[in-house]
């Protein structure tokens, strides 16, 4: 088995949506779905842009899909040659992880179409494709290629006022409807054979018709080069896109490909995890890291990664807590500058978090549950539709998932713990932590008849139980956030004398500083050694049953399990790791025996209805020495985008796409779980817990090549 690629043989129309995710290419600036060269809106072809959003009327706000500049459809003797429309003798589709290539090979009998496509890692605005057309009989061939503006949108349309330019480079320009941001896509072509050409434009885009007489046994090569630019990148994005196409055409496909491959090789030098013993697992792990690299916003410096990456517009293209909990750890260990980008996004969006807290009547920073540009809250009050009444169901994710602010603060502190670098604190990270702590002081409740401090009416990671009191995970994140303020003061006293004093004075934080020292220990949950931690007040009194029992009560497989009337809401069945997630994030607070007892209690009660869940169960299984229990969760996590797993519907809402959190979780299980890596200020220790299926792991950490086997580990 080739562990550095994934190939699917044959064509099944029902797999079109899933394959668009499986075979995605991207470079952080944009993601190009794994569709055929000749496909369009009906097959969910899309060029998804990072960081550009639009709202059409009262529909959900979502990221913008750009015009598709790699479109190419062949006609032979006047008849279309298109997969799904024309019978094919054989077909295969491949994604190559090592160098980020999408390859297609379709034999229609009369003609064989092969293509190689990439989203340039060297120039983030550039897409390139090389088509090879090999004919078995003579005929009149016509290749229609151009920039398609008939776009797939879930809640669109988002682009208006299209204008086209014909010539050596085709150009389509438009503006978003909400904020009138210009968007431009250009295309240039290179052919190695005599042909006739003419250009045209219509309501679907601007096109070039390339006509030639096909000879049997002859291969005809056409290179397509497309550039995408928007008003967020600078002035005159249309001119910039044309210039990039002209430059790329002069440079040539092979040169562009070489630069692209060189960038990919640099990325793998620090992030590659060589897993020996199970090729299936090695390929799944490589695929996970490939997808993470494809969506990482290296071009921006202060941008984060949406919950569905750049695979489409689901989840509104928003940044969730996934970014801090599941993506940040990978890059903090392998690419610290990129980890900084994810956290700078939270610094830049602090004003949005302050605004949201104020809207709810609180002080400090309440980060959006679904963060869009500028920290705008993308989460609505109605996120699920009832499959029976078709009416929206009120959910409280936006209002009550307050652990998000603690998650953000946790990541800033972990960056410091892992690297020893205090620079992010001085760039604004210290203020983020102080404002998140202030929010919890404002949000917490203190009863007059006890000394207890509580967080009431919240939702933890387990979203099937809404509006609960004292969720252990939430309380722990809040308490940790509060305790980081005095710790931060101590750290920066040596690194940046006077900085914290100035910040505390600027934020008028003196009273808060005195208050949080007393609140943090009262808010922190009390854990008894060896006992099962109650997920929230009253959890143990709920019906004790299994996910299969709950599933048997469904009247429609698309029913949402949560909310007050959901089938799981009044049971102990949970959506995903909650208490176990807390134990994974704070390993020093819980003994191996306590972790194991909680694992054995909660795992049978967990539906794993989120791709975030299995990772936490795998990490904690390694903690108590049962990497064999972690193995199944590892495979499920790492292979999710190859197998097309995960939920695709929440009620009547489509939530499909790639799973960046699971991609990050796969690396976490392999390196932090199986290898047992711990980095503290750049100093590493390892406690290997390899499952029997793995002979060895090899990866880079702290600038050293680490090899882990069942006999121990070495660093060179």
Task: Give the pLDDT confidence of 426-456 residue by residue, as tens digits.
Answer: 999 999 999 999 999 999 999 888 888 999 9
Q: Which residues on neighbouring strands pair with residue 704, listed in sequence order?
A: 701
- From the CB of residue 167, how many other CB atoms can be counted at a distance below 10 Å? 11
Measure the CA–CA gap between 271 and 558, rounded to whole angstroms. 38
Q: Of the listed 62, 173, 463, 596, which one is catalytic?
A: 463
pLDDT at position 716? 83
DSSP classification of residue 124: T
- The length of the chain in residues reads 716
| Alpha helices (runs of H) in 420-509, residue ranges in sequence order | 423-424, 430-443, 472-495, 499-506
197 counts as catalytic:
no
Residue 483 phi/psi, 5° resolution?
Answer: -75, -15
pLDDT at 387: 87
Spell out the CATH class of 272-715: mainly alpha
Where do you find CATH 2.70.98.40 in the chain? 5-269
**What is the structure's pLDDT at 652?**
59
- With H, G, I as helix, E, B as strand and everything else as coil, classify residue 679: strand
In the chain, ranges of CATH 1.50.10.10 domains: 272-715
Question: To 5 degrees, how large is the angle CA 337–CA 638–CA 613?
Answer: 90
CA distance 577 to 592: 17
Parts of the chain with a pLDDT under 50: none
Asked if 710 and 627 touch (Cβ cutoff 8 Å), the reply is no
Q: First and final CA of the chain: distance in angstroms?
A: 29
Domain 5-269 in this protein, CATH class: mainly beta
């Amino acid at each position: 088995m080739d562990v550095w690629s994934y190939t699917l043989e044959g064509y099944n129309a029902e797999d079109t949506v899933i394959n668009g995710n499986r075979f995605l290419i991207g470079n952080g600036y944009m993601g190009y779905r794994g569709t055929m060269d000749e496909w369009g809106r009906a097959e969910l072809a899309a060029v998804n842009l990072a960081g550009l959003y639009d709202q059409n009327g009262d529909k959900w706000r979502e990221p913008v899909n750009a015009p598709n500049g790699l479109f190419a459809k062949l006609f032979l003797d006047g008849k279309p040659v298109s997969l799904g429309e024309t019978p094919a003798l054989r077909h295969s589709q491949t994604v190559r992880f090592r160098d980020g290539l999408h390859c297609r090979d379709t034999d229609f009998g009369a003609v064989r179409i092969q293509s190689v496509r990439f989203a340039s890692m060297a120039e983030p605005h550039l897409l390139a494709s090389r088509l090879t057309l090999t004919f078995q009989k003579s005929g009149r061939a016509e290749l229609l290629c151009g920039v398609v503006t008939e776009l797939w949108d879930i809640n669109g349309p988002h682009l208006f006022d299209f204008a086209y330019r014909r010539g050596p480079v085709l150009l389509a320009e438009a503006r978003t409807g909400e904020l009138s941001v210009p968007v431009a896509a250009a295309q240039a072509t290179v052919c190695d054979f005599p042909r006739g050409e003419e250009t045209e434009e219509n309501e679907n885009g601007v096109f070039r018709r390339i006509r030639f007489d096909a000879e049997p046994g002859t291969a005809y090569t056409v290179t397509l080069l497309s550039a995408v630019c928007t008003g967020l990148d600078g002035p005159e994005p249309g001119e910039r896109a044309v210039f990039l196409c002209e430059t790329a055409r002069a440079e040539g496909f092979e040169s562009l490909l070489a630069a692209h491959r060189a960038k990919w090789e640099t990325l793998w030098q620090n992030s590659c995890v060589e897993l020996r013993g199970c090729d299936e697992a090695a390929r799944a792990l490589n695929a996970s890291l490939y997808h993470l690299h494809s969506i990482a916003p290296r071009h921006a410096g202060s941008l984060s990664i949406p919950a569905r990456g750049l695979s489409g517009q689901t989840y509104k293209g928003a940044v969730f807590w996934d970014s801090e909990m599941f993506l940040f750890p990978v890059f903090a260990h392998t690419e610290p500058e990129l980890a900084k980008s994810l956290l700078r996004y939270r610094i830049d969006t602090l004003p949005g978090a302050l605004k949201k807290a104020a809207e709810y009547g609180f002080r400090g920073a309440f980060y959006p549950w679904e963060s869009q540009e500028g920290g705008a809250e993308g989460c609505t009050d109605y996120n699920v539709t009832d499959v029976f009444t078709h009416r929206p169901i009120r959910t409280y994710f936006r209002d009550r998932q307050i652990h998000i602010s603690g998650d953000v603060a946790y990541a800033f502190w972990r960056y410091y713990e892992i690297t020893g670098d205090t620079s992010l604190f001085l760039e604004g990270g210290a203020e983020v932590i102080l404002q998140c702590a202030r929010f919890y002081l404002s949000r917490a409740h203190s009863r007059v008849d006890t000394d207890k401090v509580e967080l009431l009416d919240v939702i933890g990671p387990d979203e099937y139980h809404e509006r609960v009191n004292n969720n252990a995970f939430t309380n722990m994140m809040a308490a940790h956030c509060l305790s980081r303020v005095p710790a931060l003061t101590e750290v920066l006293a040596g690194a940046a004398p006077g900085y914290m004093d100035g910040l505390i004075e600027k934020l008028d934080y003196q009273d808060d500083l005195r208050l949080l020292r007393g609140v943090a220990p009262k808010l922190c949950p009390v854990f008894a050694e060896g006992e099962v931690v109650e997920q929230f007040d009253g959890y143990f009194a709920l019906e004790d049953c299994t996910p299969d029992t709950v599933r048997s009560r469904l009247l429609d497989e698309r029913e949402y399990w949560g909310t007050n009337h959901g089938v799981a809401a009044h049971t102990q069945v949970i959506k995903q790791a909650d208490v176990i997630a807390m134990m994974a994030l704070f390993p020093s607070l819980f003994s191996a025996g306590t972790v194991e007892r909680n694992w054995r209690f909660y795992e049978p009660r967990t539906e794993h209805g989120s791709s975030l869940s299995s990772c936490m169960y795998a990490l904690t299984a390694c903690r108590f020495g049962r990497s064999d229990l972690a193995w199944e969760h590892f495979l499920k996590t790492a292979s999710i985008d190859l197998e097309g797993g995960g939920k695709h519907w929440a009620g009547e809402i489509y939530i499909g796409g790639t799973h960046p959190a699971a991609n990050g979780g796969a690396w976490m299980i392999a390196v932090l779980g199986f290898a047992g890596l711990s980095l503290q200020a750049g100093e590493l220790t390892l406690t290997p817990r390899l499952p029997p299926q793995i002979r060895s792991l090899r990866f880079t950490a702290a600038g050293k090549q680490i090899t882990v086997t069942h006999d121990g580990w070495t660093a060179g």
